[in-house]
Structure 1
Amino acid sequence: MPLTATEAAAVARAGASPMLERTLAWSAVNSGTGNLAGLATVADMLADAFSALPGAITLVDPAPAERVTVDGRVEPIAHGRHLVLRVRPDAAVRMLFTGHMDTVYPLDHPFQTITELPDGRLNGPGVADMKGGLATMLAALEAVEASPVAADFGYDVLINSDEETGSFSSSALIAEMARSKVAALTYEPALADGGLAGARAGTGNFSLVVRGKSAHAGRNPDDGRNAIVAAAALALRLKAVHGPGLSVNPARIDGGGPNNVVPDLAILRVNFRPAFAADVARAHTLLDEAVAAVAAEHDVAIAVHGSFNRPPKPIDPGAQKLFSLVRTTGADLGIPIVWNTTGGVCDGNNIAACGVPVVDTMGPRGGAIHSPQEFLIPDSLAERAGLSAVTILRILEGGLS
């Protein structure tokens, strides 16, 4: 179907946005999840850029979050503030747009610079995941704001500071902002070949604190209760339930001490990836059974910390309508759209759990994210901004009804 005059104008305006310049400027500032100063700097830069849109911008304090230390203590985690923009809250049709300002690269990580590769790609920390995505989002919104239908367009923007570590300090905010939205777009990067994420598994991260009893390893070892051995037994028992529908990854054991002391403390870190809601319930049962069995067998105490922080994201009928709209829009723009089921997770999982249809890879094409080889394909900035702009316009025209 040919584009309307309004759609064509929005594509042209989105493509003329200074997306590359914004991406380079934002990526030049380290904003690893734990770098609060860097996050504050980027948040101010984003607030300045997104002030081109109508509505009120606020920087929201993070909700409390905690972690288990290597010595078994539970301590609070500090996070950066989250950027929130609300536009026309009384509009009949309202959407949610989300992204994150944090990256996986801390301040002391060696990957800190942006390099143009011989084939034109940009290699740099966060260029694809997701400073380029934020630039794409802003360009699309600016283009729609310049259209004749802008007065009917209500939306919220959320850019959080902790997505890369699970959105623990922003999950309640995501749920609150998803309420009553007809659809959501999230700007994780598309694959280099243009593929988008479809169904996603969920995820749960747990720290299992095992407390035994110390003893001399030579004089009276049998008086001790070896926490390391118990944690290893727990890891093996949990790994044994790995299979279709539920991936289980025991990732790390902290604890132990001198070779001549029976260790009385160990912390097992384990990740679950359930494919469906039923698999979450199954994982809870398996975890409870494994903890009880190992605690009894090894005469240790085991405390469970953690949760399933990203629910599975299946393709329900509402999501299918949105996916079909994006695919049709892509075809009209000459952009082939394919979907890939993935075990990766993002804030799209949380949004979908609120019953809101979401496509969560609307950012530019890129790859090798979470590694020093991360790259962005610059030409895809305009391509994906146009895709978003036309998708938004068609939703406003009733494309999901």
Structure 2
Amino acid sequence: MMILKFNNKSIVLIVLFCFSLLGFSQNNTEESNIVKAVDKHTESAIELIKTAVNMNSGTMNFEGVRAVGSLFQKELDKLGFKTVLTNGEAYGRAGHLIATRKGKKGPKFLLIGHLDTVFELESPLQEYTMLNDSIMKGPGVADMKGGDVIIILVMQALKDAGVLDDMSIEIVMTGDEEKSGNPIGLSKKDLIDAAKRADIALGFENGDNNPKTIVASRRGSADWELKVTGEPAHSSQIFTKDIGAGAIYESSRILNEFYVQLAKEKDLTFNPGYIIGGTTLKPGSDGTGGHAFGKSNVVSQEASVRGDLRAVSLSQLIQAKATMKKIVSENYSKTSAELIFGEGAYPPLTLTEGNLKLLEYFNSVSQDLGFGSVTAVNPRNAGAADISFTSEYVDMAIDGLGLTGGGGDHTINETGNLNTVATQAKITAVLMYRLVNSKL
């Protein structure tokens, strides 16, 4: 038997006996009704996925993002949610879909999806095709219109089973997960505010495309830029007291020390995406490259490197930044360097005891329903996602509850396995029911 207490956003978990993780029978009538309701609505859910996938909603196609938001808004309106499509003009994006219901008991849930995809209007992939009877290829089918529809299917099943009214639920489907608005603090404010009101966060991204895994921890992502300067001179004077090593050598030293001092840190990565160096630089305005002028017989005066840093916890991120800054400060002769971390960072979803407990519950439900065991995704296989913004505020969070696919995310080969729609919806709906109806 498991006792859950929800008091001022804290969850006290006391295990009394080794008896079915939450003390519920597989033959529970409400759970059976939930499962039957998922089956009843699965076909229409798949049709909704097809409709949504064929609507272009690349992040910068604001009209398309809002159209997909309106599509899902209508479905949630039917289920009794209070919905709103927000205006994202202040942070340069389309806005978000927010839906709320106030229940009578249990924890407050936050369900997270996103409306946008990486496939803009110029993408060659604009509509779905069926590769066989269950594998759909299409823009955003797995990341993450399939997950959005699973959220709706879960809500339909809970309503049909007569248990939705008990639940306090807030759904946030952001319009800029793939390319965050600026400033990011304003872009993610609605999501963070919802997290502050919630006890449990459930994310419906597609994880690592393995239905046997769930995300209990995600690495955060921060951009960085390294700017290096040196003394220009004829190459014959390099390494002299007055000229020193030049900007390119100093860049090489810094990058090599990053590798030497940090490469063995578990789950930490720091990738230099591009480097340019020479006598003069013309960096691109969008931060994706640029041009350099230089000659083989001239000591380099400037160098620029851009990359990203991914860490599995806030403490790891802070320590890595400190190490990198120290390395940058120990310059070769006659050189200087500056390391700048971008403001648009995604925080880590830190692995917590609460997250692990929630994963245990999900695993128990999956086994009770006959779908087998579920384990945690290796955080190296889980990129940054919106659920990470809840990490400081909720007691429990897991992600990867969405439609799983065959890979190819963010490419013209993105696929989703429609057989996982009903499976993911059943496990999630029963999980929510059990959490709400646990003995207090």
TM-score tier by shorter-chain length is 0.7 to 0.9
Corresponding position of 1:270: 307
State whether residues 210 and 227 of structure 1, in contact with CA within 8 Å, keep that contact through their aligned partners in structure 2: no
Matched, 1:93 2:107: yes
- Report the Cα distance in structure 2 between the residues aligned to 1:154 and 1:330, rounded to whole angstroms: 23
Superposed CA deviations along residues 61-81 of structure 1, whole A, max 9, x for unmatched, are 34866xxxxxxxxxxxx2220
Corresponding position of 2:434: 394
Pick closer, same or farther for the CA change 1:291–1:391 going to 2, 3 Å.
same
State whether residues 207 and 269 of structure 1, in contact with CA within 8 Å, keep that contact through their aligned partners in structure 2: yes
How far the C-alpha of 1:206 sits from its partner, in A, is 2.1
Corresponding position of 1:195: 212
State whether residues 325 and 339 of structure 2, in contact with CA within 8 Å, keep that contact through their aligned partners in structure 1: no
- Report the Cα distance in structure 2 between the residues aligned to 1:16 and 1:379, rounded to whole angstroms: 14
Greater shift after overlay, 131-140 or 315-324? 315-324
Matches within 5 A, 1:311-330: 311-330=347-366
Superposed CA deviations along residues 252-304 of structure 1, whole A, max 9, x for unmatched, are 2334433358776554222222233331221121121133234x645345251
For structure 1, the 5+ residue unaligned runs are 66-77
Match of 1:358 among 367, 374, 397: 397
Matched, 1:141 2:155: yes
Pick closer, same or farther for the CA change 1:267–1:57 going to 2, 3 Å.
farther
- Which amino acid is the alignment partner of residue 378 of structure 2? T
Partner SS, residue 30 of structure 2: helix
Corresponding position of 1:71: none
- Report the Cα distance in structure 2 between the residues aligned to 1:110 and 1:278, rounded to whole angstroms: 41
- Report the Cα distance in structure 1 between the residues aligned to 2:291 and 2:198, rounded to whole angstroms: 50
- Report the Cα distance in structure 1 between the residues aligned to 2:253 and 2:222, rounded to whole angstroms: 18
Corresponding position of 2:30: 6
Matches within 5 A, 1:36-47: 36-47=62-73
Corresponding position of 2:274: 252
State whether residues 235 and 299 of structure 2, in contact with CA within 8 Å, keep that contact through their aligned partners in structure 1: no
- Report the Cα distance in structure 2 between the residues aligned to 1:113 and 1:148, rounded to whole angstroms: 36
Corresponding position of 2:76: 50
Corresponding position of 2:257: 237
For structure 2, the 5+ residue unaligned runs are 1-24, 276-288
- Report the Cα distance in structure 2 between the residues aligned to 1:263 and 1:330, rounded to whole angstroms: 60
- Report the Cα distance in structure 1 between the residues aligned to 2:63 and 2:244, rounded to whole angstroms: 46
Pick closer, same or farther for the CA change 1:88–1:208 going to 2, 3 Å.
same
State whether residues 313 and 351 of structure 2, in contact with CA within 8 Å, keep that contact through their aligned partners in structure 1: no
Identity %: 22
State whether residues 255 and 265 of structure 1, in contact with CA within 8 Å, keep that contact through their aligned partners in structure 2: no
Matched, 1:279 2:316: yes
Pick closer, same or farther for the CA change 1:358–1:219 going to 2, 3 Å.
same
State whether residues 140 and 385 of structure 1, in contact with CA within 8 Å, keep that contact through their aligned partners in structure 2: yes
State whether residues 204 and 306 of structure 1, in contact with CA within 8 Å, keep that contact through their aligned partners in structure 2: no
Matches within 5 A, 1:65-214: 78-88=92-102, 93-118=107-132, 120-165=134-179, 168=184, 170-189=187-206, 191-208=208-225, 210=227, 212=229
Match of 1:347 among 383, 386, 391: 386
Pick closer, same or farther for the CA change 1:277–1:303 going to 2, 3 Å.
closer
